[in-house]
Amino acid sequence: MSPAAQTIPAWVDGQLQPVEKLSVHLRGLRHQAISVFVMRGRQVLIQRRALGKYHTPGLWANTVCTHPHWGESHADCAARRLREELGITGLPLTHAGTVEYRADVGGGLIEHEVVQVYTAEAPADLRLAPDPDEVMDTAWRDLDRLAEDTRTDPRRFTPWLRLYLAEHAETIFGAAAPAG
């Protein structure tokens, strides 16, 4: 099954239902999502989305951003996608909170997400094994510098990463949130 054909939890007529992912984004339905920020002190691991992704290819995003399968727990989804996208296993995840946003991601697609956000602290020797179908590059970026870069050169970053840093940094990072 192609990633776009997977069913994800979305609200239809006020009820959470399994809906095909591409349909969710074409219709702009409010749906469940997961985001993970792997940190090393004040540095955050970001990924550049593979060029084959069906939306926002080639843009920089947070460590992992995804949708749970129908019936999958949020924490299990976060751990699964860390492993599948970046080869990361065994990091304890901390639930940082819930954020909601709506953003046009191009190509007639809308992300209207209710996101369970997780953070994890990485050891200095964390090994990455990115899946090239998902991730074309990774980088460790200082959180303050990343926030500044999303403001000064927004075209390089996914809409959700820009929104997280501009509007939800305190929820995600607490006292470590970037200034400004």
Cα dihedral angle (67, 69, 74, 78), rounded to 10 degrees?
-60
- Res 55: pLDDT: 92
Residue 112 lies in a domain: yes
How far apart CA 101 and CA 36 sit, in angstroms, is 16
Indicate the number of domains in the chain: 1
Residue 55 lies in a domain: yes
Residue 179 lies in a domain: no
CATH number at residue 146: 3.90.79.10
- Res 179: pLDDT: 73
Tell me the catalytic residues: 65, 113
Residues spanned by the domain of 9: 3-174
Beta strands in the chain (DSSP E): 7-12, 15-20, 30-40, 43-49, 60-61, 64-66, 94-106, 109-121, 135-142
pLDDT tens per residue across span 42-84 = 999 999 999 999 899 999 999 999 999 999 999 999 999 999 9
Residue 34 lies in a domain: yes
Residue 180 lies in a domain: no
Residue 121 lies in a domain: yes
The segments of the chain whose pLDDT lies below 50 read: 1
Q: pTM for the complete prediction?
A: 0.94
